[in-house]
Copies of this chain bind each other. A is one copy, B any other.
């Protein structure tokens, strides 16, 4: 019987997931580089240590009945080590290996026929001219690993940008890819939870970025039912293409022609889904816990539109028309 859920990483996402785990009656263990991290302070089972310390990981695994992670930056081989101690890890190391490297991620999506911006690996022989001949005169350089919130990205529109971007990115990252710049009208995101009981899809939301960081989430996104349905299908297929188990945030671009391109997938609760704590019947964090435990999912419907009305008007609606 599952009693204790272990979290690799003790930041805000692990903290909010841990609170959801507690509400469901489970115990929580945390592995983080420091003690008393945001999640670590919620439990006596707080394991400060290096992710590269086999012995520390073994001690952590010993108290856990199942292990999950709060980010996609852990080397899959460390997750395999935890599996070798007899503990299930979700999302699995296989899933992480398909997501962590953004080139492999995009190749995986493309191999399943899912729509992605055009992309190529950057090699020693790449130049602005060679890349722009494939991707167009404006494109993005991206570190293949460890990027988030715009870190690891560089926008290129001429040869000087290319040289500058490559110098900047290669100073911190080994492998770089280049990606077509999509002229989007909206950035959309969907949370998808998946396990052997099925899938749970949250409302499609629009995200508005400022300096590459999500500043505003509009839930639900103001899009047509046809677009919504297409976005949901792509999101679920994207999660299935990486053999996902857990909750996943799928970020997409919507163009003026109603074309959709997958931007990125995150194998964890996502900042575009924080609104679900108050805004949906079941939060993304609770459904993440349900996902890894193969429990049936809680309802992902919005509640906030109605509560906002009650808040504003101080009354319970007498009649609701759909």
**Residues on A close to B: CB < 8 A?**
15, 19, 22-23, 27, 36, 41-44, 46, 220, 278, 281, 299, 301-303, 305-307, 309-311, 313-322
**Docked-complex contact B316 and A302, CB < 8 angstroms:** yes
**Docked-complex contact B322 and A220, CB < 8 angstroms:** no
Partner of A320 from B27, B41, B309 at Cβ < 8 Å: B309
Top 3 A-B pairs, shortest CB-CB distance = A306-B306, A303-B307, A319-B321
Known: A301-B316, A302-B316; 20 extra A-B contacts, CB below 8 A, are: A19-B23, A41-B44, A42-B43, A281-B310, A281-B311, A299-B307, A301-B310, A301-B311, A303-B303, A303-B307, A305-B316, A306-B307, A306-B309, A306-B310, A306-B317, A309-B320, A315-B322, A317-B320, A317-B322, A318-B321
Question: With a CB–CB cut-off of 8 A, which chain B residues contact A281?
Answer: 278, 307, 310-311
Nearest chain-B residue to A320 (Cβ)? Answer: B317
Nearest chain-B residue to A36 (Cβ)? Answer: B44
From residue A174, how far is it (CB to closest CB) to chain B in Å? 38
**Docked-complex contact B41 and A220, CB < 8 angstroms:** no
**Complex-state Cα separation, A44 to B310, whole angstroms:** 39
Question: With a CB–CB cut-off of 8 A, which chain B residues contact A22?
Answer: 15, 19, 42
Partner of A43 from B41, B309, B311 at Cβ < 8 Å: B41
5 A-B contacts, Cβ less than 8 Å apart?
A41-B43, A42-B43, A301-B316, A306-B307, A317-B320
Partner of A319 from B27, B36, B42, B320 at Cβ < 8 Å: B320
From residue A160, how far is it (CB to closest CB) to chain B in Å? 46
Nearest chain-B residue to A203 (Cβ)? Answer: B316
Q: Known contacts A22-B19, A42-B22, A43-B42: does B309 contact A313 (CB below 8 Å)?
A: no
Question: With a CB–CB cut-off of 8 A, which chain B residues contact A311?
Answer: 281, 299, 301
Question: With a CB–CB cut-off of 8 A, which chain B residues contact A322?
Answer: 313, 315-318
From residue A74, how far is it (CB to closest CB) to chain B in Å? 25
From residue A126, how far is it (CB to closest CB) to chain B in Å? 47
Question: With a CB–CB cut-off of 8 A, which chain B residues contact A42?
Answer: 22, 42-43
**Docked-complex contact A301 and B320, CB < 8 angstroms:** no
A19, A42, A278, A320: residue with the most chain B Cβ atoms closer than 10 Å: A320
**Complex-state Cα separation, A46 to B318, whole angstroms:** 48
**Complex-state Cα separation, A36 to B315, whole angstroms:** 42
Nearest chain-B residue to A304 (Cβ)? Answer: B303
